[in-house]
Structure 1
Amino acid sequence: MSATLLIKNALTVRGDGSEPETGSVLVDTEAGTISACGKSAGDGTFVYDAGGAYLFPAFTDIACRFSDPAHAQRDSIATASAAAVGGGFLNLVCLPHQSGEPVTLRPASTPCRILPVIPVSDPSGIDAEKRAVYTDIPSPVTDPGKLKSIMLACRASDSLFIPACLDRGLASDGVMRGGRTAKLLGLAAISESAFLLPLVTALILSAETGCRIHIPAVSDAESVSLVRQAKSRGVPVTCGTSPLYFSMTDNDVFYYGGRARAPPPLGPRRDRESVCEALSDGTIDCISSLHTPLTKPENCQELKKCLFGASGFDTAFSASVTYLLKKNIVTPDRLAALLAVNPAKITGKKAGITPGAPADLVIADTDAETVVSSNTMKSKSVNTPYLGMTLTGCVKAVFSGGVRVF
């Protein structure tokens, strides 16, 4: 007889449009799958009492970065993995290193499942016989003809393409988004065209080729509008955002300096409001951590010398609860869709809490408060603007295939 795990007294959130349901989930720990759900799920060999906490499908992060092996001082595989799992993320779509190499990890080195993203600069780098995820990050393809050829090749293999959506020539040596704060700080502005023109190009080429594309970091009102219009025309595009864009504005750069220097850069309040609206109405499909670890010297110096990026694994869930769920911008079910169901679907995987589904589960308390500090973060890098803030919501337990990994 198979060993079983009964998770009882859980408020189950499926992310499928249904209402949360109080009950139990029975897991076959040998098969690693869910056997039954509901008020009469059965008895288990082992029992975990959720105590009324929420039960979510495990999260999928569709845009994150592990530290380049040449910069292990930022994050080790162990610390980054611990931060990801502690944040509820079991499935990671890791963007390539700055060296251009895809991220690969030994399965035994972490409970996380890594879906490598393959960097390409021309169609010859795409395997026509293999479905995969490709990107032109970290070296954006600026030739529209070449980009179209890449998308045609991706379409032929039913692969997903993640465009960089950055024109470095237009971005030049800008430090932050143009506006009142940039002027007050006397900093060079990054032209909006540096992000919008590549986005428009990607959307047009996706429409022409039928290539599925995913925009990982929609951060401003104009990008939201462009994606919304493209979706209404049937363009096969999905998009994500990260907590910085629905919780902060460019004004926060004034207070938090390099810890709030995100790529794309933060914008004014109307950008944050547009992102929140898009998360609520379905224009934005998922929330990603955009985890980019940096050392203190790399992001705590003169702003124009700081590198772009913020640590995100540890705070993505709590920031989402604090700035979305508690403000009634999204429901618990919508939050499950944004963190788990939708990003899994985009990458060709399944996430859900139904009989037969993988027992990849997250127990979370949406009322617990935590003061973010180096002691509460598992990532080696604490380059986050949330440092010192009180955030609501925390992950209490994580199960992978029915085995507790956090």
Structure 2
Amino acid sequence: MNILLKSAKIFDKTSKYHKQTKDILIENNSFAKIADSIECPNDCEEIYLENLQISNGWFDSSVSFGEPGYEERENISNGLNTAGKSGFTDVAINSNTNPFLDTKASISFVKNLSINKATNLFPIASLTKNSDGIEMAELYDMQSAGAIAFGDYNKPICNDNLMKIALQYAQNFDGLVLSFPLNKSIGGEGIAHEGVNSTYLGIKGIPSLAEEMQIARDLFLLEYTGGKLHIPTISSAKSVDLIKEAKKKNLNVTCSVTTHHLTLTDKELIKFNGNTKVLPPLRAEEDRLALITGVMDGTIDCITSDHNPIDIENKKVEFNNAKYGTIGLENLFTSLQTVLDTETIIEALTSKPKAIFGLKQSSIEEGKTVSISLFTDSNSGVFKEINILSTSKNSIFLNKEIKGKTYGIFSNNQLVLN
């Protein structure tokens, strides 16, 4: 496929064209020419998009699609189409399927469903069989089949020795271990952040301590075992401090934060809207500000949508009975634009997370393979249900202010536009 992108501002710190506005000719999946002005050849399509900006393709490190087992929530085909139109050339899918992604065959199954798609799919396999936290799964076999990391989605590994052994064993093949930050004993039956708002509303709370104790345990184990540890979706100010100190000790630890934890707080609970029930729960304003600082100073390595489609039967119910989760691919960029600058967002969606999960990144230079996201940081508005591309509509950002727009991607020699 041959196309000419007109007047595109380039964001790529590895490129000599960084922050320059150029015409970009793409031929045979490569950057054929980058210049101030290019005439469109006869065999290519000219693309002009208002205030077009491009960067290396975005990667979301925590996405759930449902298939296999929960296709009523989302299937892989529509999920990848949604990701592409939302600016993502690469996504890592979680193992919360039915059956879980805990065998070589299950990893191969979901990989095969993504063949010939514009957006690349990378499975995060279950760390334990059936994601039940009891017995470690066959990690090496699953990595051989295409798994890029191992973790039980939204489930903590309560057995300290099991986590220790996992960190030790994964080193044999340079495997990345994920540990969800929640101490279940401390969290108890809580369903929201333990604070003023949960007390006022009579909702059982999950204190920040539940997250911080689990992170402290994992960091002690990592210091003992070595290896690579990724802590997904941290949510508290103290968690940021713990990881910052661990990095000063040169421990190989990384972490992510969700879009909604950077932009929203537990004040959303006042509506008793099931779409605001997420795990970790939305925290207080001081936590949100500390998370933003953590992204800015590099303590937090990547930002994720933590996209988790849930069908209406499990969301439009009493808050106590609603399942955890929100969709977020469609509005990740436009929501982040309200609290972060464009360059910081791109860094947290490209080079840093790709390095953590072992993915290759190209560069916007002539002769290089094309894998780019297309977007603009201009325009503003309100996120409405009509903007949702996912099968499920459980967005925590409905009726929230947004800024900018995602146009789509060019990846795997395919142009996908929103």
Structure-1-length-normalised TM-score: 0.90
Corresponding position of 2:193: 177
Structure 1 residue aligned with 2:285, among 259, 266, 269? 269
Cα distance between partner residues in 2 of 1:310 and 1:194: 21
1:13·1:55 contact (CA, 8 Å) conserved in 2? yes
CA separation of 1:35/1:343 partners in 2, compared to 1, >3 Å: closer, same or farther?
Answer: farther
Distance in structure 2 (CA, Å) of the matches to 1:65 and 1:185: 30
Deviations 1:133-186 (A, max 9, x none): 111335532222221111111112111111122233332211111110001110
Partner of 1:33: 30
User: Number of residue pairs matched?
Assistant: 396
Identify which of 263, 271, 285 aligns with 1:255: 271
The CA distance in 2 between the partners of 1:385 and 1:124, in whole Å, is 33
Question: Structure 2 counterpart of 1:116, which letter?
Answer: P
Aligned to 1:329: none
From 386, 394, 400, give the equivalent of 1:389. 400
| Matching residue within 181, 206, 211 for 1:165 | 181
2:12 paired residue number: 14
Residue of structure 2 equivalent to 1:107: 114
Distance 1:272 1:353 in 2: 33
Tell me the CA shift for residue 292 of structure 1: 0.7
* Cα distance, 1:235 vs structure 2: 1.0
Asked whether the 8 Å contact 1:15–1:337 carries over to 2, the reply is no
The 5 A counterparts of 1:85-164 are 85-99=84-98, 101-102=100-101, 104-105=110-111, 106-108=113-115, 110-121=117-128, 122=135, 125-127=138-140, 130=144, 132-137=148-153, 139-164=155-180
Question: What secondary structure does 1:394 align onto?
Answer: strand
Q: Residue in 1 aligned with 2:350?
A: 340
Moved more, 172-181 or 381-390: 381-390
Kept in 2, the 8 Å contact 1:15–1:336? The answer is no
**Alignment gaps of 5+ in structure 2:** 102-106, 129-134
> Over residues 97-146 of structure 1, what are the superposed CA-to-partner deviations in whole Å (9 max), with x where a residue is unaligned?
25462261423474321111121235562218858411133553222222
User: Does structure 1 residue 294 correspond to structure 2 residue 310?
Assistant: yes
Are residues 269 and 288 of structure 1, via their aligned partners in 2, closer, same or farther at CA, if it must alter by over 3 Å? Answer: same
Confirm or deny that 1:364 pairs with 2:375. Answer: yes
Alpha-carbon contact 1:10-1:51 (below 8 Å) kept: no
- Give distance in 2, aligned partners of 1:111 and 1:6: 18
Amino acid at match of 1:336: I
Q: Aligned equivalents of 1:386 and 1:256: distance in 2?
A: 14
Instruction: Indicate conservation of the 8 Å contact 2:118/2:414, yes or no.
Output: no
Residues 1:238 and 2:236 aligned together: no
Residue 375 of structure 1 deviates from its aligned partner by 1.6
- Quick one: distance in 1 between partners of 2:182 and 2:138? 21
- How far off is 1:297 after superposition? 3.1
Q: Are residues 1:279 and 2:287 paired?
A: no
Give the drift of 1:192: 2.8
- What is the rounded CA distance, in whole Å, between the counterparts of 1:69 and 1:123 in structure 2? 21
Separation in 2 of the partners of 1:349 and 1:51?
31
CA 1:242–1:152 in 2, change beyond 3 Å: closer, same or farther? same
CA contact (8 A) 2:335 2:401 kept: no
Query: Is the contact between residue 34 and residue 354 of structure 1 (CA under 8 Å) also seen in structure 2?
Result: yes
Report which stretch shifted further, 185-194 or 262-271: 185-194
TM-score for the superposition, normalised by structure 2: 0.87
Residue 328 of structure 1: aligned partner: none
CA contact (8 A) 1:68 1:97 kept: no
Alpha-carbon distance between aligned partners in 1 of 2:318 and 2:412, rounded to the nearest angstrom: 46
Contact kept, 8 Å, 2:278 with 2:326, in 1: the verdict is yes
Task: Measure how far apart 1:238 and its partner are.
Answer: 1.4
- CA 7–335 in structure 1, closer or farther in 2 if over 3 Å, else same: same
**Corresponding residue to 1:187 among 203, 224, 232:** 203
Q: Which amino acid aligns with 1:341?
A: S
Would you say the 8 A contact 1:263–1:308 is kept in 2?
yes
CA distance in 2, matches of 1:318, 1:42: 32
| Alpha-carbon shift at residue 382 of structure 1 (Å) | 1.6
Q: Would the alpha carbon gap of residues 138 and 289 (structure 1) be closer, same or farther in structure 2, given more than 3 Å must change?
A: closer
Work out whether residues 374 and 382 of structure 1, in 8 Å CA contact, stay in contact via their aligned partners in 2.
Answer: yes
Q: Which residue of 2 aligns with 1:23?
A: 22
Distance 1:236 1:343 in 2: 14
Q: Relative to 1, partners in 2 of residues 1:183 and 1:314: Cα closer, same or farther, differing over 3 Å?
A: same
Tell me if structure 1 keeps the 8 A contact 2:179–2:231: yes
Q: Which letter does structure 1 place at the counterpart of 2:365?
A: T
Counterpart residue number, 1:76: 75
Give the distance between the partners of 2:47 and 2:270, measured in 1 at CA. 45
Residues 299-338 of structure 1 deviation map (CA, whole Å, 9 limit, x = unaligned): 232211111110111111111112323xxxxxx2222111
Deviation, structure 1 residue 251: 0.9
Contact 2:194–2:206 (8 Å) recurs in 1: yes
Stretches of structure 1 lacking an aligned partner (at least 5 in a row): 326-331
Secondary structure of 1:26's aligned partner = strand
CA contact 1:96–1:119 (8 Å) conserved in 2:
yes
In structure 2, how many angstroms separate the alpha carbons of the residues matched to 1:387 and 1:214? 30
Distance 1:138 1:252, change over 3 A: closer
Q: Displacement, 1:263?
A: 0.9
Q: Distance in 2 between matches of 1:280 and 1:314?
A: 23
Distance of 1:139 and 1:275 partners within structure 2: 22
Structure 2 vs 1, CA of residues 280 and 100 (structure 1 numbering), >3 Å: closer, same or farther? Answer: farther
1:361–1:17 distance in 2 versus 1, CA, 3 Å: closer
